[in-house]
Amino acid sequence: MNGLEHLDRITVALGKLPGIGRRSAERMAYRLAGDPDGVMRELVQALQEAQENVRLCNLCGSITTVTELPCRLCTHPSRDGLMVCVVQDPSDIVAIERTGAYKGRYHALMGIISPMHGEGPGEIRLQALLKRLDTEGFQEVIMALGMDAESEATASYIAEVLRPRKLRITHLATGIPVGSGIGYSDTLTLARAMKGRQNL
């Protein structure tokens, strides 16, 4: 392999990451090749150590390490074992944990149902969720998926599947974001905020 073929392999791998097109992958590859003792070494080390140590929790799917399987979120006794929050990705768990507003368990679907992209109900971790509902004794399932069409359809689908079970099924409130003005909200958000209005 010549130098450019090596760069090309890096470009191809980087191009498989979300939001990275051919051109920006190429620029990254050149930057790495141009600084072998700097950012290249730093990235290789970080990746290797993560490869050895980082795992996804076998129960909830959150980011954890080989020494903590299942993860602390699943095992810590101080957390509420009666509710499970269903999210799309491990990163959503991090975002919700950062709020400090939730102390129950989690379940990451690792995707959403997206017929346009060939992702059916079998492609997400729905069976794993049903199995957990059978064994872990949750009483409430909180759907914390996005507010786009596919995420909402996924939430509705899962709610239908769960309907026969004696569970409270909730979803996050839709409304005007904190710090935003009425005039900046789109019509649909405003309509939902009106519908979901609460007592003052």
3-class DSSP assignment, residue 176: coil
CB of 105 vs its own copies, minimal distance in Å: 17
CB neighbour class for 57 (10 Å; exposed up to 12, middle 13-18, buried from 19): buried
- Residue showing tokens 């810590």: 76
Task: Pick one of 58, 65, 75, 139: the residue that binds its own copies (CB under 8 A).
Answer: 65
Taking the CA atoms of residue 168, residue 112, residue 114 and residue 188 in that order, the dihedral angle to the nearest 10 degrees is 60
Residue nearer to its own copies on the CB measure, 36 or 196 = 36
DSSP 196: T
- What phi and psi values does residue 126 have, to the nearest 5 degrees? -85, -40
Q: Does 46 bind its own copies (CB under 8 A)?
A: yes
The rounded distance, in Å, linking the Cα atoms of 133 and 172 is: 20
Cβ proximity of 63 and 56 under 8 Å? yes
Contact call for residue 146 and its own copies (CB under 8 A): no
Question: What is the Cα–Cα distance from 129 to 105, expressed in whole angstroms?
Answer: 12
Nearer to its own copies, 66 or 101 (CB): 66
Interaction pattern, residues 101-130, with its own copies; x per rule: CB under 8 A: ---------x--------------------
Our CB check for its own copies shows the closer of 3 and 164 to be 3
Q: Which is nearer to its own copies, 44 or 161 (CB)?
A: 44
Instruction: Based on the shown chain and the rule CB under 8 A, indicate whether residue 58 belongs to the binding site for its own copies.
Output: no
Footprint on this chain of its own copies (rule: CB under 8 A): 1-4, 6-7, 9-10, 12-14, 16-20, 24, 26-28, 30-34, 36, 39-51, 53-56, 62-65, 68, 71, 89-91, 94, 110
